[in-house]
């Protein structure tokens, strides 16, 4: 059927003609494909949203929820952060497997135990001072040292859990 003829004929007639058998070499293939296509195009179908669209809508609903929720009682205090987290002069980059780069090191046949922080950037002196204060070590003590060649901070002793807590409090 030509395009001009299809425009003037109603869609039901075109659909019935499409489902009618044709007598060509590929008749069974071409007619079944065309018939299934024409039936699918006129049948109602259910639209599904993508995963990202659903996430966006959930995030938007969560943003709107606190605004509509009842306010806190007046006597309840808002928790204030104890640290100024946005203006830290140093940064500790995570590893490729998203872990904090804190390692236990033994030397001298296992008698010298050290904890090493790698992947440090920025002001290493202020990182060393903050870490020493948190661990309860004197600022002038050689127990917390900086290797300036590779930017590692070395702490005497096995202090990995305390150092991990220190870094996680600062959202590294």
Please give the model's pTM, rounded to 2 decimal places: 0.51
Q: Which residues contact 152 (CB under 8 A, 6 or more apart)?
A: 116, 117, 118, 120, 146
Task: Considering only residues 158 and 73, tell me which one the structure prediction assigns the higher pLDDT.
Answer: 158
Give the span between the Cα atoms of 93 and 144, in whole angstroms.
19
The whole-number pLDDT of residue 5 equals 47
Does the pLDDT of residue 115 top 60, yes or no?
Answer: yes
Average pLDDT, the chain: 74
Question: Any idea which fold 90-169 has?
Answer: Translation Initiation Factor Eif1 (3.30.780)
Q: Where are the domains of the chain?
A: 3-42, 90-169
DSSP 60: H
pLDDT at 166 > cutoff 90:
yes
pLDDT exceeds 60 at position 20? no
What pLDDT shows up at residue 87?
A: 82
121: β partners: 91
């Amino acid at each position: 059927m030509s395009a001009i003829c299809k425009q003037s004929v109603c869609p039901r007639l075109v659909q019935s003609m499409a489902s009618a058998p044709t007598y060509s070499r590929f008749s069974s293939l071409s007619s079944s494909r065309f018939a299934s296509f024409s039936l699918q195009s006129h049948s109602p179908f259910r639209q599904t949203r993508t995963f990202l669209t659903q996430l966006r809508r959930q995030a938007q609903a969560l943003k709107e929820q606190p605004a509509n929720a009842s306010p806190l009682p007046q006597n309840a205090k808002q928790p204030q952060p104890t640290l100024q987290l946005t203006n830290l002069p140093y940064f500790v980059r995570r590893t490729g497997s998203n872990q904090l780069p804190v390692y236990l090191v033994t030397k001298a046949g296992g008698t010298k135990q050290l904890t090493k922080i790698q992947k440090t950037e920025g002001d290493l002196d202020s990182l060393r001072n903050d870490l020493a204060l948190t661990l309860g070590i004197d600022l002038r003590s050689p127990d917390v040292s900086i290797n300036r060649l590779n930017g590692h901070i070395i702490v005497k002793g096995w202090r990995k859990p305390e150092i991990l807590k220190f870094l996680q409090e600062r959202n590294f």
